[in-house]
Structure 1
């Protein structure tokens, strides 16, 4: 673990959030087995990082009650029920768009279903982040999310927003815009409710 990551973890702790460091996705899964109890209810946010690290498969195949929003053929109402269930989950697990050097989390969301349980409800929130998401300042976090993450995510979701063809954000007002909720988390009342796991590899957008 280099000094930059040590500093991020220290500052997360200063902001009443826990910080962890793992070398790869196998170590990530090992750590999750210690943080999530058998039989727990687990919700999730939409995340390329969780998909590519095998976290979704781990939850589907483990001894957990997994609120799996990625099941095929879910109706809009079924998805809404899952989103609401996430507020009462024992654990909500998600990625994040950026983590600043001073231990803050920044996210942009489309409908709020990912950021809302991070803010309130779930007893425990686990945030999984690749080293590519570590930035120096809040301004860097916003720039990174708007100009790198959001256009790639909009393209992944099949949106027709300008950023999918331009490859950059122009602060559009398109009806399919996914940049609706800008959320900066600077700390927590409940110590270690939010746990941030940094993987020593790049993952996600």
Structure 2
């Protein structure tokens, strides 16, 4: 990456950590995705039960394979199973010790904004798992909710294409506000702060471009 662009992400990342800590999350700055992976595994006790939210950021960390092959009780919804079985795993994962995920956007007010297809990631961030670890690239920082929703709309197009959902946007590259079964934009959630359950949210902010 261009060193000036990297410098800007570092500045934004450190700014974001300060915002998030002020909003009662436990926020940590790291310089790159490798350090983020190390920090996640440092925070994750062996034999704990773990769920993962669908995320390009976690894919870049190869976290699915690490958790699957580690000493954890993994709610593994990434298996080749009928959809009804996957949904049952999603339901069970609501009582995991740890949910590890990313977020679609984070505002300058410290709001974590997410749009889901099935709702399991958004729901788990709000309530259920005892601890939530969120890995965020500094590229996901936006000014306000309007910018967050615009960012989410554009990212949904990329994710539809990535996971081969049969949506109009995966064909045209443009949001059609569709109502097809594969639509990703079904459930919107906003976490305003981390004050309700102190210590529940640990947010690892990467001073780099990570994920979509």
Q: What is the TM-score normalised by the length of structure 2?
A: 0.88
| Cross-structure match for 2:172 | 166
Alignment of structure 1 residues 113-192 onto 2, 5 Å: 113-146=120-153, 148-188=154-194, 189-192=196-199
Q: Which runs of 5+ in 1 are unaligned?
A: none
Q: CA contact under 8 A between 1:8 and 1:102: conserved in structure 2?
A: no
Q: What is the TM-score normalised by the length of structure 1?
A: 0.91
Distance change (3 Å), C-alpha of 1:6 and 1:203: closer
Q: CA contact under 8 A between 1:93 and 1:126: conserved in structure 2?
A: yes
Root-mean-square deviation over aligned CA pairs? 1.7
CA deviation string 1:138-166 (max 9, x = no partner) = 111110110x2100111122223221122
CA deviation string 1:10-29 (max 9, x = no partner) = 22122221111111222112
Q: Which runs of 5+ in 2 are unaligned?
A: 1-8
Distance change (3 Å), C-alpha of 1:67 and 1:151: same
Q: CA contact under 8 A between 2:137 and 2:209: conserved in structure 1?
A: yes
Give me the whole-angstrom Cα distance separating, in 2, the residues matched to 1:26 and 1:178.
Answer: 29
* 3-state DSSP of counterpart to 1:114: helix
Is 1:108 the counterpart of 2:115 in the alignment?
yes
Number of residue pairs matched? 203
Give me the whole-angstrom Cα distance separating, in 2, the residues matched to 1:184 and 1:136.
Answer: 15
| Cross-structure match for 1:36 | 44
| Cross-structure match for 2:90 | 83
